Structure formats: C-alpha cells, structure tokens
Structure 1
Amino acid sequence: MVDQVTATLLRAAELTAAGQPGQAVALLRPVLLSHPEHADAWCHLAAAHLDAGEPDPALTAAKRAIVLGGDPAWAQRLAALALAELDRPAEAVVAARESVRCKPLDWRCHVVLAEALASHPTLAGDALGAARRAVELAGDQARPYQVLGDAAMRARDWATAQWAYRAALDIDPHDPEVRANLDAVHRNRARAAGAGGLTGADLPQALAGAERALRALVRRLVGLVAVGTLLLLLAGLPAPSTALTAPALLLVGLAVAVAALPLARMPAVGRRLVARVARERRLVGAAAALLALAVLLTAGWALALASGTRGLSTLAVAFGCALAAGVLCRPGARPRHPR
C-alpha cells in the first residue's frame, strides 16, 4: 500500500506540474482519507491548491503537514506562499524564514523568502539579499536569477536586474516574463513614462504600489456593497417598500465616500497611476468597473423605488456585480513558484 501511495503522490506532482492542479487535488483526496497522517500527501495537496489559485485550502493543508512533522522546510515554504497570496505578508515572512532555518542550503526556501520579503511593506529592501543567496546555492537554475532580477527592479538596481535577467534567459531562453522584464530594464533610463514626471526607472515600483492600493480599495468596497445590497434584498422580500429608499441611498453614499476619500488624499500622480492600473491590469480594472456598476444600479433602484416602482431585479443584479468583483480581485493565481 505504501508503494501505491508513493505512486499516487508522484502522479499528483506530475499533474500539478502539467497545469492540471484540479485533477491532482481529486487524486490526493482519497489518499488523505485513507492515510490522514501522511505529511507528504498534505504537502502535495497544498502545492496543487496553490497552482489552482486556492490559497485558503493550500494554507490549511500546509499547516496540517507542519503539525504531522513531515518535511518542515517544504511545509513552511508552502505555508509562506499561501500566506503571501492571502495578503498576509508578515506571517508569510515568518513562515519563509522558518523554512530557511530548517533547510538553509535549499535554494527554493531562499526564493520564497525573497518573494515574501518583497511583498512586506517594510522589509522589501531585504529581498535582494535573500535572492542573491538563492543564486549562490543554485546557479544552474533560472528561477533564482529571475527572483533576483525582480528584487533588483524593485530596488531600482538596474545593473543587477539586467545581469540577473540575462542569466535567467541563458538558462531558459523561452521565458516570456523574464524577457519582458529585461526589455523594461533596457527602457527604464531611455524614456520618460509620462506619469506625472515619473521616469521609467521609477515606474515599475510606482505601478506596483498603485495596484496594491487599488486592490485593497476594491476589496473594502466589495464587502460594503455586497453585504449592503444583500441586506436590502432580504429586507425587500417579498415586495420592497419606499422605506428602503433611505438605507439604499445611505449605502450608495458610504460606497462613494469609501472610494473617494483615499483617492482624494493621493497626489495627482498617484491618481493617474491608479487610473493606469485600472486600464492595464484587466482583472482589477474589471473588478473596479463592476463595483461602480453595482453602486450605480443601487442608486437607480433607490430612485425608482422612491418614485413608486417596485421590484428587486435591479438590486439583485447589483449584488451579483459586487460578488463578481470580489471573485475577480481575490488573492489568486500568480506566476508559478518552486515547490
């Protein structure tokens, strides 16, 4: 039976590597039902969930593997990746550092630590050192060089970024993301970005910050609008009364205030960067558009209700738009990491 379990784990790893993590999860569940104390199986399950863009169950599986005492470096590394995708950077750094402590010569642990540090609001400057250590340990792998290039770009160390991306392409010349980043490095000092005086050298970091700000704003609004429209729907059953007009307009006003106040506090260049992110990052831009539509539909429903029109269909569509925005802006799939 042990051999059968090992074969199943190998097959699950192959499916995950082949871009079929859902099938890997389905294959692993029966194994864990019959062998719930198998720590490696929980690690394989966590890796499959991560590649499927499901950080919550990935974190649960990684924690289970940690408790069972399997490979602690692997389990902590998986937990760090899941925590990073859940926007919990401080915990991600703790888990990544623990993975490095368990296996200080495993380059994958240093790669995950570099990525966790890069997403931390105050520790991003340490990512460069972690990435350099990964390169020292695995100079024949492309991924450490890519992570070093990413960390150098954030630090605006263009010479290191150019060297690292070129080294990554020497090993894997077919990686389009690395090639695109190398092209960006080449353009940085050659042109202005046209974003309120920002030069190309400053643009990647500024855009990354604007995207984080927009995602955080969208997530706050999703909670407010989705919960508010759901409560209005429940209160309006089976037929809404005009008494719901005031709460609906209050919800619209709160949503506008939550959206407008952070933007009003930004400098003009920050607002332009947020607008650029909304145009160029399709998922977060679509989520913002759906939220705006949900607020407009709620306002229209409230005004129609005040004029005597009855019905909940418009409000139901607004609720659906808010839910769809939450799905689009959830923490999810990112470039594949080493497992």
Structure 2
Amino acid sequence: MAAKLLADDQPEAALAAADEAIKRDERIEWGHRLASLALERLGRDAEAVAAAERAVRLAPGSWAARLRLGSALRRTPGRWREAWTQAAKAVHFAPEEPDAHVLAGDLALARGEHDRAARSYRAALDGAPDHLVARINLSLALLRWERPRPHHDPAWVIDPRETGGARNAVETWARQVRLLFAVALPPVVAAGLLGGHRTQAAIAGLAVLALAAVPTLRQARRMRIWSYLPQILARDVWLTVKVALTPLSALAYTAAVLTLPVQTVPASARTGLLGFVVLNGAAVPVVRVLVEAWRGRPVLALAELTAALPERTARRNADIALWIVAARAWSLTVLAALVSPLIGGLATGPGRLAAALAVPAGIAVPAGLAWARRRTGLSGQLRRLMKADRSLALALALAITASAAIAVAGAAGALGGRAASSVAVWGWRAVPVALAGAAVVFVLRTVRARLSGLPGPWRESLVFCEGCGRRQPGDISPPVELSEEVRRAFTSSRGVVLAYADPSGPRAMAVGAVASIGPTGELCLIADDDAWQAAERDPRVSIFAADPIERRFWTEVCGTALGDAEAEVLRVTPKRVVIGEYPGPARGRR
C-alpha cells in the first residue's frame, strides 16, 4: 500500500502505511525503506536518513537499501562522501540496475565531475534506454553544467550556508569597491582636466581610496571561514575573476589619479585607465556569456534531450542548449567578419582572391547549423521549440543573415565590377547590423526573463532532473521473497552449492546447509575463506539446493553476499529466484 501511495505522490498517506507495516514486523527492511522515501518527499531529511540506515542494518546486501540511504544522505550537508560510498555499493551489488548508476552520476555531477557523471549515466542508459533522468542529466554533464552554488564542494563537511555567506561577503566587497572607483573616477578626471584643478582633483581622488576601507572592513567582519576562501575561489572561476579585478581596478584608479597633475601623459593612456575602471564591471557578464558558450558539447547534449522530448525539463534544457548553439554561431560570425581579408568591396588584382576567401567563412556557420540539426535529430521538434521561444528563432535568423551577408559580399567582391562592388559594400554593411540585432535580441530576452521570472537564455537556467517522467525510483521496489517450498529446500537440503566468481573463473563449492533464513529471505551460509574473499571481490553469487523430500524440486537463488564477521556467516540477500523440477524447464521469479 505504501509503495502504491508513493507512486501516486501521496507521501503523507504512504508514511502512515509504512509505519503501520513496520509496527507489524519491524524486521522487514522494505517498510523502513518506504518510510525513508516518504519522509524525504515531506522534507524531513534527517528522519529519512535514520529510516534508511535502519533498512541497511536489516539488509546490508540489499542494493535498493543502499540506494535509498545514498539518496537520503546526499540531501544532508557534509555527508556527500557517505552518499558516494552507498551509491558505489549499490552499483557493486547490482550493476545491472540503472538507478544505482544514476545516483552515482548525480553525485559526481554535484561536484562538477562531468566525465565521471557521463560514464555513470551512459551505463544506466545501456540497461534502460528509456530512463529519462539518466538521459536529461547526461545532457547536463555534456554541457558542463554547474550547480547554483559552484563555490561549494558537497564533499566538504561544512554547512553550505556558511560557504554561501562567505562567498556573498567576498562578492559584495568586490562589487562595492569596483563600483566606488567607477563612480568616483569620471568626476575626478573631469575636474582635473576640464576644470583646470589637476592637483586638487588628484588629492580628492586619493581620498576616495580611503573610503574603500569601509566596505573592506565591513565584509571582512562577515567572513567566518577564512580557511575555506582559497578553495571557494578555486571552485568559482567567475568569483575569482571579480576578486582579481578589484585590486587591478584600484591600481588603475590610483594611476589615473596620480597622473592628473602630469601634463605629458598621453590621452590614450588616460582613456585606457578610465575605461578599465568604469567598464570592467559591465565587461565581465559579456565575457562570461561568450566564454561559457564554448563550454561543453551542446550538439551531443541536444541529441540526448531530443530523445527525452516532450518531457518538460528536457524541453526547457533543449531551449537553453539552442541558445548556447546560437551564441556559438554569433561568435563564429563575428570572427569571420573580423579575420576575413575582404575589406570593403575589393574588386581588382589580388583583392579578388582575398574576397573569395570570405565565401567559405560565411557559409561555415549555416552549414554547421544544418549539420547540428541532422546530428541531434531535432528536425521534428525544432519548429515547436522555435515557436515557444520566438526570440531564439530571431537570434538564429539574424546570425544566419550575417553569415550569408559575409558570403554574398565575398562572392561579389571576387566577381569585380561596379555593380558587384556595390553589392559587396552593402553586404558588409549588413553584417554588423545583423550581428548587433542578434545581440539586442539576446539582451531583451534576458531583461524579460529577469523581470518576469522566466528561465533566461543562459546556463544558470538549466534544470537538474530528479524524478522526471513516470518511472518509479529503484528504491521503491519490493524485496525478493522466498516461498515456503524454497525455504524448505534450503533448510532441509544437505547438498547446498554456492557458486561465485574467482580470478581463475567461475567456481562452485558445497556449503553443507543454510544456517538460517531471515524474515526477508536473507540466507546465512557457513563457507570457507575462499568464498569470503570472492564475495569481497564480487558479491554476486548463486546458491543451488534440491528438496530432499520433494526430490524433483530444485531452486537457485541469485543474490548479494556479504561477510558477517561477528556471526561468522555469509549473508546472501536474494535478487532473483529460479525454481524448477527434474526434468523440466525452470520457472524464474524476481
């Protein structure tokens, strides 16, 4: 009942049903596992961890219990390593189960280990190609996605709220100091150069430097974890850029102020210092957009997202991935316009050859977009995505227009003649207009997203997929039960055989009899050291037995073996049961 209620998204009722099942028999780990999942969905993370730990104690060889505990631990600050240990055990116990690989991928993705995450998601998709969570999160790994708090390593034992407070203090300090210099320098320079009060303006400008101590001291008092600051900066690249720009702005500001009384300083030097101090704050977001457009592999990510459409999260992430592709197309078009040897409408001599070189440069971007469309399989979904985000369609159209204008201008310049030269001139005039138009579309789309709270055309709007689709999580699955006839066969037989993997190949050994069978079907075997060592290498084993009473009946239990040093037995948790009769076909049950 609890499992059905969880599938129907009724965690409160599911928790009540799980608690009732636990009261009837608290030795059944499934009840604790379902209670943990219900508590997690209710936001009671600490209780969810405690319930999952009870499930693991009752069935340490259950991959589903390990999966549940790992899933619960990852929500608890400072317990990422424990969660990773449980996920690794779930994969070790049941490598054929996709959800175990998905949890390992999610944990790796949380730390920014994109290659490891991609391997885990691909392993999950090998066994379950329809696993939407694995496919969507694989696209995030391919895009080199980062969590909203990239400065915090989930493996740190410190609370993320503390590192978040430290990051905010550093970012606020950098922003306030740079803003102070950017606001103060223009009037100081204007008073010195235009008003003729160079010395007085320089003195006033130097006094502003003292004001920078106010935000510095204020934010320094907010810092409580100075020892983590180098690691925070190492993980958050753009925070490091802002911090590095702050002393550089101070140096540029100081140089601009001190050189005011010096009349021999070139105007270009003054302009450069003024521009750096005033514009560095606005330049960082622009540079960030262009740099991050070239991170990851958006075409491969779009191929994965296309396979997950029309799922809502996949559709949102596909739209943002297309914006990344559009930013790349825009960047390449700008590069083609800058490096093309065609200047104006060259029409004679070697200029024709130079003009012809602009043709492939202009064709490259539309050709690349056409290839990406075929590679991703988006042909059937592209129109729907463009209709949902008309700004994206317009930005792509303008980038393609600019590329086409480069190709047309190059072809016209190569042909020569008055008419062709005129076409080339107008083509080159159209290039910056189209590129500027695409940039304006992006800015307007960004502003609209900020004002309306909608997802914006940037990486931060990518969504991590958790619980997407209708597939139920693996940790909700029931344990394998042993029927009475199977229990009788193992407890009565004196010819129980244990099969396991050995470096030299598969091996089998007689274990005499099963010492005991737990309420959840766990088999306790007395085995020699070879079997214990084999279970440590690969816990997947099979146990065979024949019923001495019903002589034609035989059974095989495939499961996970763990050594219990205190009880001196191998505890085997069943994953699959096969029964049959001599002679006759086997009847499998999982």
Counterpart in the other structure of 1:108? 99
**Alpha-carbon distance in structure 2 between the residues aligned to 1:25 and 1:105:** 29
Q: In the alignment, is the contact (CA less than 8 A) between 1:84 and 1:92 conserved in 2?
A: yes
Q: In the alignment, is the contact (CA less than 8 A) between 1:16 and 1:51 conserved in 2?
A: no
Structure 1 residue 40: Cα displacement: 1.1
Deviations 1:129-157 (A, max 9, x none): 10111111111332321221222222622
**Alpha-carbon distance in structure 2 between the residues aligned to 1:112 and 1:280:** 30
Identity of aligned residues (%): 24
Is residue 2:298 matched to residue 1:167? no
Counterpart in the other structure of 1:137? 127
**Alpha-carbon distance in structure 2 between the residues aligned to 1:89 and 1:158:** 28
Q: Secondary structure at the match of 1:104?
A: coil
Counterpart in the other structure of 1:94? 85
Is residue 2:324 matched to residue 1:188? yes
Is residue 2:327 matched to residue 1:336? no
Q: Secondary structure at the match of 1:144?
A: helix
Counterpart in the other structure of 1:147? 137
In the TM superposition, what are the counterparts of 1:74-93 in structure 2 within 5 Å?
A: 74-87=64-77, 88-93=79-84
| Greater fraction of residues in strand | 2
Counterpart in the other structure of 2:383? none
Structure 1 residue 70: Cα displacement: 6.3
In the TM superposition, what are the counterparts of 1:1-339 in structure 2 within 5 Å?
A: 11-69=1-59, 72-87=62-77, 88-120=79-111, 123-154=113-144, 156-169=296-309, 173=310, 175-191=311-327, 335-336=466-467, 338-339=473-474
**Alpha-carbon distance in structure 1 between the residues aligned to 2:18 and 2:137:** 30
Q: Let me know the Cα RMSD of the aligned residues.
A: 2.9
Q: Which amino acid aligns with 1:189?
A: V
Deviations 1:231-277 (A, max 9, x none): xxxxxxxxxxxxxxxxxxxxxxxxxxxxxxxxxxxxxxxxxxxxx99
Q: Which amino acid aligns with 1:139?
A: P
**Alpha-carbon distance in structure 1 between the residues aligned to 2:308 and 2:7:** 20
Structure 1 residue 25: Cα displacement: 0.4
Counterpart in the other structure of 2:219? none
Rg: which structure is higher? 2
Bigger RCO (CA 8 Å, 6+ sep): 1
Q: Secondary structure at the match of 2:143?
A: helix
Q: In the alignment, is the contact (CA less than 8 A) between 1:100 and 1:110 conserved in 2?
A: yes
Q: Which amino acid aligns with 1:336?
A: G
Structure 1 residue 21: Cα displacement: 0.6
Structure 1 residue 189: Cα displacement: 3.1
Structure 1 residue 113: Cα displacement: 0.7
* TM-score under structure 2 length normalisation: 0.30
Q: Which amino acid aligns with 1:89?
A: W
Q: Which amino acid aligns with 1:85?
A: R
**Alpha-carbon distance in structure 2 between the residues aligned to 1:49 and 1:57:** 7
| Greater fraction of residues in helix | 1
**Alpha-carbon distance in structure 2 between the residues aligned to 1:50 and 1:151:** 25
Q: Which amino acid aligns with 1:166?
A: T
Q: Secondary structure at the match of 1:95?
A: helix
In structure 2, stretches of 5+ residues that fail to align are 146-295, 329-448, 455-464, 475-590
Q: Which amino acid aligns with 2:308?
A: A
Question: Structure 1 residues 90 and 125 mapped into 2: Cα distance closer, same or farther (>3 Å)?
Answer: farther
Q: In the alignment, is the contact (CA less than 8 A) between 2:105 and 2:116 conserved in 1?
A: yes
Q: In the alignment, is the contact (CA less than 8 A) between 2:35 and 2:48 conserved in 1?
A: yes
**Alpha-carbon distance in structure 1 between the residues aligned to 2:44 and 2:140:** 24
Q: In the alignment, is the contact (CA less than 8 A) between 2:19 and 2:31 conserved in 1?
A: no
Q: In the alignment, is the contact (CA less than 8 A) between 2:52 and 2:68 conserved in 1?
A: yes
Deviations 1:153-207 (A, max 9, x none): 22622122111111112xxx2x211110111111113249xxxxxxxxxxxxxxx
Q: Which amino acid aligns with 1:83?
A: L
Question: Structure 1 residues 188 and 100 mapped into 2: Cα distance closer, same or farther (>3 Å)?
Answer: same
**Alpha-carbon distance in structure 1 between the residues aligned to 2:81 and 2:111:** 6
Structure 1 residue 280: Cα displacement: 5.8
Q: In the alignment, is the contact (CA less than 8 A) between 1:111 and 1:134 conserved in 2?
A: yes
Counterpart in the other structure of 1:8? none
Q: In the alignment, is the contact (CA less than 8 A) between 1:40 and 1:70 conserved in 2?
A: no
Q: In the alignment, is the contact (CA less than 8 A) between 1:150 and 1:161 conserved in 2?
A: yes
Q: Secondary structure at the match of 1:189?
A: helix
In structure 1, stretches of 5+ residues that fail to align are 1-10, 193-275, 282-333
**Alpha-carbon distance in structure 1 between the residues aligned to 2:134 and 2:33:** 22
**Alpha-carbon distance in structure 2 between the residues aligned to 1:31 and 1:85:** 26
